[in-house]
Amino acid sequence: MKKKVALKDIAKELGVSTALVSYVMNNQEIEKGVNKESAVKIREVAARLNYRPNQIAKSLKTNKTYTIGLIVADIAYRFTTGITRAIEAEAKKNKYTVIFGSSDENKEKFHELVNVLVNRQVDGLILVPVEHSEPEIESLEKNDIPFVLIDRFFPGLDANLVAIDNYKAAYQCTMHLVKHGYKKPAFVNYKTGLFHLQERTRGYEQALKDSGIKPGKPAILEIREKHLEEDIKKGIKQLTVQGADSVFFATDILAIHGLKNINAMKIKVPQELGVVSFDESEAFELFGCPITHGRQPIEDIGKQAVTTLLDLVNNSKVKRKIILESDFVKGKSCGE
């Protein structure tokens, strides 16, 4: 087996000290006063000799692995793809690598992934928690493992988090329908105990109340996640029969499946049915009418999550609850 190149090999090649090479390879040349020409030469020789840093030795010395563990809910979601990229980009700026996995909304898999990442000695975790994962979050807190919750959180737990104001965003989406003359807006959400989705329901209900609209039969449709297509198909028919003049979808996935069935039923949007989605989807571009939707500040969530986590890694006493505002994109699916 070919011998692994060490810092001393680079130093010997150039006739400089091992310490000087170490400063450059650890990106400390500016603070250590290494001149630019020497730094360039060291990196050139390191590349030519195919030098690879010894991460184990480095982590023992610094007590850090420079890795972040990220657990998302479902890799298929547009939000997940966007937030993963945003976190990776911000982590890279801070010379961190992200290791991520998807829980698939499964409590046991979430627990397993947390254990794997902690055993890999990541410096901290960024988590999209699943339903009923409070014990796992409490365990991390108890064992002083740095973590930040994103997108979702549990109101009873005092944990670091970065999320949006789901109540306010849902209120805004519903009021947009009301202001455009819709008198019977229905709401489609998952049947769930997740707090952020319940907040979207609360925002919808409050908007109706403030507008003097009494929730009728077509008010709220709850979809079972494991029976998504079946429930959406049945539900859209039910809502139209019961007289709903518009529909507010609590997530982009619900909106996509809902629009597919609306199309199949040859219902015209917005002439016969107004539509608003809480979040956006690239699939909306395939629909004949631009869909009005909320837009989460994905890049800001990613940046704030990484910043908060690294502050935690360097100072375990940090407590931060960041609630961000979402944008609202006006399409033509419920009036101009």
Q: Are 237 and 258 in contact (CB under 8 A)?
A: no
- Residues in CB range of 64: below 8 A, 6 or more apart: 123, 313
Question: Which contiguous run of DSSP H or E holds residue 8?
Answer: helix 7-14
Q: pLDDT band at 58, cuts 50/70/90? A: low
pLDDT, average across residues 208-233 = 88
Residues 185 and 237 occupy one common structural domain: yes
> What pLDDT, in 10s, does the model give residues 164-202?
999 999 999 999 999 999 999 999 999 999 999 999 999
The CATH number of residue 49's host domain is 1.10.260
Q: Are 131 and 198 in contact (CB under 8 A)?
A: no
Residues 25 and 130 occupy one common structural domain: no
In a domain, 333, yes or no: no
Q: How many structural domains does the chain have? A: 3
Residues 256 and 180 occupy one common structural domain: yes
The CATH number of residue 194's host domain is 3.40.50.2300
> What pLDDT, in 10s, does the model give residues 71-105?
999 877 778 889 999 999 999 999 899 999 999 99
Domain extent at residue 304:
63-163+298-325
> What pLDDT, in 10s, does the model give residues 284-336?
777 888 999 999 999 999 999 999 999 999 987 888 999 999 998 899 999 76
In a domain, 156, yes or no: yes
